[in-house]
Chain A
Amino acid sequence: MNEHEDSLEAELASWKPVPVSERLKQRIGQDIDQSGPFRRRVWLLAGTLAAACLLVMLLLRTKQDDNPRRLLTASSIPEQAMEFSDQLPSLRVYTRALNQSTEALDVLLDRHGAMGSRGMLPKAVQQAFPSSPSPFMN
């Protein structure tokens, strides 16, 4: 048994490495070159996944309204101030009008009632799709 192993080892030891051929070197070089875009794609995919995860996390965080720290961000302050503009039918503007007089409330309700009619929507809303052709025109 030992004798047999010794002869095998001797034969293996007698083998000498053959130098790498130029053709093989060229082929490996080409393969490495071609794997460049693939790697880039892997990185792109990983990046997209990370961005998506980040977006989901952000969305979940913004939904936590009960947390008082989340109720307000620096950018939300002007937004809230905007909501109390009488362009929008908010509880605050109606209450303010009612405190003035019931007639003032009537006038404001009438104004909001006409919004959307006779092009009275605020500009931003009116021009939401300024150049979209109507699909019902044809």
Chain B
Amino acid sequence: MKQLLCAAVLSLLVPVYALAQPQSGNPMQSGNAAMKYWQAIALLPHFDEKQEKLLENWNTIPLNAEAKQLLQTSQAIMKYLGRAATCSHCYWDLDYQEGPGLLLPHLAKCRTLGRLAALQIRYEFDNGNVSAGVDSFLNLMSLARNAGSDPILISILVGYAIESFALEAIAPYLPGLDKELLSKLAAGTAKLPKIALVQQAIGTEKTYMNGWLLKQMEAAEMQKPGEWRTILQSLFSPDAREKEGNQKVLDSIDTFAKAKQYSNDLMAVYDELFKAFNLPYAEQADRLWELTQQARKNNPLAVLLLPALNKTHAAQNRYQAKLALFLAALAVAEKGPDELKAITDPFGNGPFEYKQLPQGFELTSKLKSTDGKQVSYSVGK
């Protein structure tokens, strides 16, 4: 009887197990990439000061024995980055309800992974392993997109930073790639998940910074009148230079009713900031600046809570321009500069500017960085 029961259970389980297995031929796994990244992070060796310096300067260091040794200790990490890139989704499971106390321990570690992977790309190409170099590039791009997948300004900025490592690492080798690999790069990049948008992060700021503060102050006040101040003060910077500013905020918000009112008023400011992103590109920065300055003047909580949106907005524009330049560079490397006629600069009315270099070329967008220089992308050594 027992044997019959076991056989029946097994016969039910076998098809379930078979269905749970990834289909052969389908490179996309259904797993969570974040779990693979955490395994890669756990495998990060304890770098000594010298190795940290090497990593920091991954883009300029000579690819000598030291760099090779650094990469040799990181082979398992590279494997996990590759596995993460085949996952269908990335869920970091962040504790948003913690509000400003939300911990983002993965971001700094992802940057370290990013630098290692960028060095790996250089190493592969330098050693003639072009196909492995392309794979490493796509894995790094995947890490960038996944690190920036949460609608949090800091996550988004870290995503941009990692992606800039990837674009910089592959740039010298693009003109030397054959059509097949260039197509693989274009197709692989098109399939990648997207980094969250800055405007989406405004919603997060509204709910989990200002919304959290309001909720916590209400709870504290219910518990003990006057205790709302402790919550407000917990957000103050411990920096002595900001002591005066902090005191100003406290002086302006002297009652709980005022604190609540300022917090509610600030909710509307977030909505206006979000709407500013729907304006034509050229008007966005000014509108964001105007709204932020106005809010900071009229609302002491804005001084404490509003993020540096102008910086992140500029970073988003720069990122979008760089990505468009990279995709255009792939097209030029594959089919020649005439391809540019069909590609419009997202920050201008026409195509990107093209300039031939001794061993490659440079594409330039109309977008200007905060330093006043136009954003460009140079390929070739």
Contact = CB atoms under 8 A, between A and B. Distances in A.
Contacts of A88: 103
Nearest to B236: A84
Contacts of A16: none
A98 B44 CA distance: 26
Given A80-B231, A114-B52, A68 B215 contact: yes
A102 interface: yes
A108 B218 CA distance: 32
A124 to B, nearest CB: 15
Contacts of B97: 65
A96 B237 contact: yes
Interface in A39-88: 65, 68-74, 77, 80-81, 83-85, 88
For A69, A92, A116, the residue with the greatest tally of chain B CB atoms inside 10 Å of its CB is A92
B219 A92 contact: no
Interface of B is mostly: helix
Interface string B91-116: 00000011111111101110110000
B10 interface: no
Interface in B136-169: 152-154, 157-158
For A73, A105, A109, A116, the residue with the greatest tally of chain B CB atoms inside 10 Å of its CB is A109
Q: Interface residue tally of chain B, by bracket? A: 35 or more
B238 interface: yes
Given A85-B238, A99-B308, A69 B219 contact: yes
B222 A77 contact: no
B47 interface: yes
Contacts of B234: 77, 80-81, 84
A122 interface: no
Given A80-B216, A98-B312, 4 more contacts: A72-B223, A73-B223, A91-B154, A95-B307
B307 A69 contact: no
B219 A68 contact: yes
Given A77-B231, A80-B234, A115-B108, A68 B153 contact: no
Interface of A is mostly: helix
B311 A98 contact: yes
Contact of A90 (B102, B231, B307): B102
Contact of A95 (B56, B154, B158, B219): B154
Interface of B: 44-49, 52, 56, 97-105, 107-109, 111-112, 152-154, 157-158, 208-209, 215-216, 218-220, 222-224, 227, 230-231, 233-235, 237-238, 307-308, 311-312, 315
For B52, B108, B220, the residue with the greatest tally of chain A CB atoms inside 10 Å of its CB is B108
A26 interface: no
A91 B104 contact: yes
A49 B223 CA distance: 31
A109 B111 contact: yes
B102 A77 contact: no
B111 A77 contact: no
A114 B52 CA distance: 8
Contacts of A77: 220, 227, 230-231, 234
Contacts of B235: 84, 92
Contacts of B237: 96
Contact of A89 (B45, B103, B307): B103
